Amino acid sequence: MSSRAAIRYAKAVLNQANETNTSQVVFGDMKSVEATIEGSKELRSVLKNPIIKSSDKTEALLKIFSDQSDITKALVNTLAANKRLNLLGGVAQSFVTLYNEKQGIKSAQVTTAVPLSSELETKVLAKVKELTGSDQVTITNIVDESIIGGFILRIGDLQYNASIANKLGNIKREFSKSL
């Protein structure tokens, strides 16, 4: 989940990208930044580590994202100047969400205990399209073994929790009430 500060930075970057007609390029950059940070535990720990100098973090990020647009590089420099480099992943995630909303693309998040099969993903996609009334939907699958089974579907601020862990929690609450 992105912080309010990350959302504000993302809005500023989106506005700048729209003004320069590079929103699609920056969208590609932000998806790449988000995937890179999400995929690298080491990079996330470096960004959060207060002992590592901001200038070293900035230099590393500019090397990692050297093929990105000037707007993306300017974002890294701005976050560094404001001592907010740890927000980079959240800004990228927020940018992707804001861009998709502007394009009319709905985003759904499905949390499952095991990765979604293509058959199940098709069914979830159909259900999300039915619920939102939108033909353009993207699905992000998050694997969380702690839900035991079932799924948690989140579309915007709506959430449907059909996980086994949730059902067991409900049974436990009902049982403890009756004692």
* Average pLDDT taken over every residue of the chain: 90
Confidence check: pLDDT of 45 > 80 = yes
Give the span between the Cα atoms of 47 and 37, in whole angstroms.
9
Residue 142, domain extent: 105-177
**How does pLDDT run across 134-147, given as a tens digit for each residue?**
778 888 888 999 99
Residue-level pLDDT at 109 = 87
Domain count for the chain, please give it.
2
Confidence check: pLDDT of 107 > 90 = no
132 and 97 inside one domain: no
Q: Which residue has the tokens 């100047």?
A: 81
Residue-level pLDDT at 1 = 53
Residue-level pLDDT at 47 = 93
Residue-level pLDDT at 155 = 84
Report the side by side order of strands in the sheet with 106-112. Answer: 137-143, 106-112, 150-155, 158-163
10 and 92 inside one domain: yes
For residue 4 the two structure tokens come to 């309010």
- Which of 38, 69, 101 is at the close of a domain? 101
- Which of 101, 119, 142 is at the close of a domain? 101
Confidence check: pLDDT of 159 > 90 = no
For residue 46 the two structure tokens come to 């470096």
